[in-house]
């Protein structure tokens, strides 16, 4: 009985050993098999091109009118009429409002009458002085009488001069009753209605007239860009573009007009003013715009589609097609223009194929197949 158990145990052990050997042989023989190469990734690639790329300094700006004038009355009186429509374009010297002038006209008439009376008195005194000068020659009058008459003439001349000044002052005051536009521009909303009493001390005014053209835009740029701007000014006219709030539509093209004379130490920026001569109605006073100042131009710089550029922890990179492999290339990006971006520091060369689609699945050295260009 014991011999049977021992024989059965040996048989089972042999079977197990045989199976273990077979499994070992299977595993060892599988290691010598060659794994099939991974399939090539389909990608789209575009050749690197050379082109001139402008270098812009972007900033948020505000449209400022060339001139803005608050029209106020220079005399006290009733506003009898308003000669403009709100939003109307007016020319310099155009009548825009009238003040009741009847009181001033009456005062002017009195002043002219006084002037005429005093002029007549002066004329009579001058004739008497002439007669006294003839009489003194023949001894028919005294020197004292002659001197008194000469002083009287001088006194009357002073009176006439004062009367003339009073007349001129009232004429000026009367002219202020007709309010003229001091500039060419657009009238805003009416601030005072006809029939109200207006004074020359009011700061509200009757209306505000704004000169719309040429328009100017004021924006602030970092002080680090000051050197680039000065270099651009030294080369000649500096172009400034004004875009809408979303940077989609170009509103106007102008030129750099002036730099402020000091840096704002609280923000580290300096104010810049640009002028737009032919903006039409595209730029409106106090409107916010995106200003782009053209500081330089990169001549014949290599450019790639912006979609080819990827961003990693070590910086920007892209993949270049090298035969059937993808070669990872670290790059330094420059300014963008439209759908392309300039590459600096010789990161890529003209004619090289850069991968624009499918690059997110690649590693350095991955097998690729270009299916679109």
Q: Same domain, yes or no, for 47 and 17?
A: no
What confidence tens digit (pLDDT) does each residue in 158-177 have?
A: 999 999 999 999 999 999 99
- Confidence tier at 88 by pLDDT (50, 70, 90): very high
The CA R_g of the chain, rounded to the nearest whole Å, is 46
Q: What's the confidence (pLDDT) of residue 7?
A: 58
Q: Helix 102-138 vs helix 143-175: angle between axes, to the nearest 10 degrees?
A: 160
User: Which structural domain, as residue segments, surrounds residue 127?
Assistant: 101-176
* Domain assignment of residue 110, yes or no: yes
Which of these three, 149, 176, 203, is where a domain ends? 176
Which of these three, 144, 161, 176, is where a domain ends? 176
Number of domains in the chain: 3
* Domain assignment of residue 218, yes or no: no
Which residues are paired to 90 by β-bridges?
185
Q: Which residue has the higher pLDDT, 41 or 211?
A: 211
202 with 73: CB under 8 angstroms?
yes
What confidence tens digit (pLDDT) does each residue in 321-371 have?
A: 888 888 888 889 888 888 888 888 878 888 889 888 888 888 888 888 888
69: which 2 tokens? 């004038």
Q: What's the confidence (pLDDT) of residue 35?
A: 56
* Domain assignment of residue 20, yes or no: yes
* Domain assignment of residue 315, yes or no: yes
Residue 20 pLDDT exceeds 80? no
DSSP string across 228-264: HHHHHHHHS--EEEEE-TTS-SEEEEEEEEEE-SS-B
pLDDT average, residue stretch 78-97: 93
Q: What is the CATH number of the domain that holds 350?
A: 2.40.420.20
pLDDT average, residue stretch 295-320: 88
Q: What is the CATH number of the domain that holds 109?
A: 1.10.287
* Domain assignment of residue 360, yes or no: yes
Which residues are paired to 332 by β-bridges?
344
- Confidence tier at 142 by pLDDT (50, 70, 90): confident
Long-range contacts of 157-165 (CB under 8 A, 24+ apart): 157/122, 159/118, 159/121, 159/122, 160/115, 160/118, 160/119, 160/122, 163/111, 163/114, 163/115, 163/118, 163/119, 164/115
Which of these three, 176, 205, 236, is where a domain ends? 176
- Give residue 331's region: left, alpha or beta (phi > 0; psi -120 to 50): beta
- Confidence tier at 2 by pLDDT (50, 70, 90): low
Q: What's the confidence (pLDDT) of residue 313?
A: 84
Q: Same domain, yes or no, for 106 and 170?
A: yes
pLDDT average, residue stretch 4-30: 61
What confidence tens digit (pLDDT) does each residue in 247-283 have?
A: 889 999 999 999 999 999 999 999 999 999 888 788 9
- Give residue 213's region: left, alpha or beta (phi > 0; psi -120 to 50): beta
CA distance 90 to 84: 8
Residue 253, C-beta contacts closer than 8 angstroms, at least 6 positions apart: 239, 240, 241, 242, 276
């Amino acid at each position: 009985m014991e011999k049977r158990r021992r024989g059965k145990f040996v048989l089972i052990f042999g079977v197990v050993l045989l199976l273990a050997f077979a499994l070992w042989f299977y595993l060892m023989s599988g290691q010598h098999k060659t794994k099939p190469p991974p399939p090539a990734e389909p990608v789209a690639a575009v050749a690197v091109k050379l082109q001139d790329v402008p270098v812009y300094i972007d900033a948020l700006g505000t449209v400022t009118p060339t001139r803005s004038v608050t029209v106020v009355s220079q005399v006290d009186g009733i506003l009898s009429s308003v000669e403009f429509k709100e939003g109307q374009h007016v020319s310099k010297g155009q009548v825009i409002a009238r003040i009741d002038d009847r009181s001033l006209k009456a005062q002017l008439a009195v002043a002219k009458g006084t002037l005429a009376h005093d002029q007549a008195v002066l004329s009579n005194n001058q004739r008497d002085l002439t007669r006294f000068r003839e009489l003194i020659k023949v001894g028919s009058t005294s020197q004292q009488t002659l001197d008194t008459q000469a002083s009287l003439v001088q006194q009357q001349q002073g009176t006439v001069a004062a009367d003339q000044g009073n007349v001129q002052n009232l004429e000026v005051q009367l002219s202020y009753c007709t309010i003229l536009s001091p500039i060419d521009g657009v009238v805003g909303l009416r601030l005072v209605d006809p029939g109200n009493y207006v004074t020359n001390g009011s700061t509200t005014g009757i209306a505000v007239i704004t000169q719309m053209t040429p328009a100017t835009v004021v924006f602030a740029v970092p002080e680090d860009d000051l050197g680039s701007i000065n270099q651009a000014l030294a080369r000649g006219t500096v172009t400034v573009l004004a875009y809408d709030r979303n940077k989609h539509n170009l509103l106007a093209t102008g030129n750099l007009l002036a730099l402020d004379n000091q840096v704002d130490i609280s923000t580290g920026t300096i104010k810049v003013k640009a002028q737009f001569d032919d903006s039409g109605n595209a730029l409106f006073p106090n409107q916010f715009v995106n200003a782009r100042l053209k500081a330089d131009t990169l001549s014949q710089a290599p450019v790639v589609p912006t979609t080819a550029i990827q961003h990693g922890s070590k910086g920007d990179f892209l993949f270049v097609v090298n035969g059937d492999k993808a070669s990872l290339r670290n790059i330094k990006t420059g300014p963008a223009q439209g759908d392309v971006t300039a590459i600096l520091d010789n990161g890529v060369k003209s004619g090289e194929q850069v991968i624009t689609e499918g690059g997110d699945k690649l590693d350095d050295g991955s097998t690729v197949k270009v299916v679109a260009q």
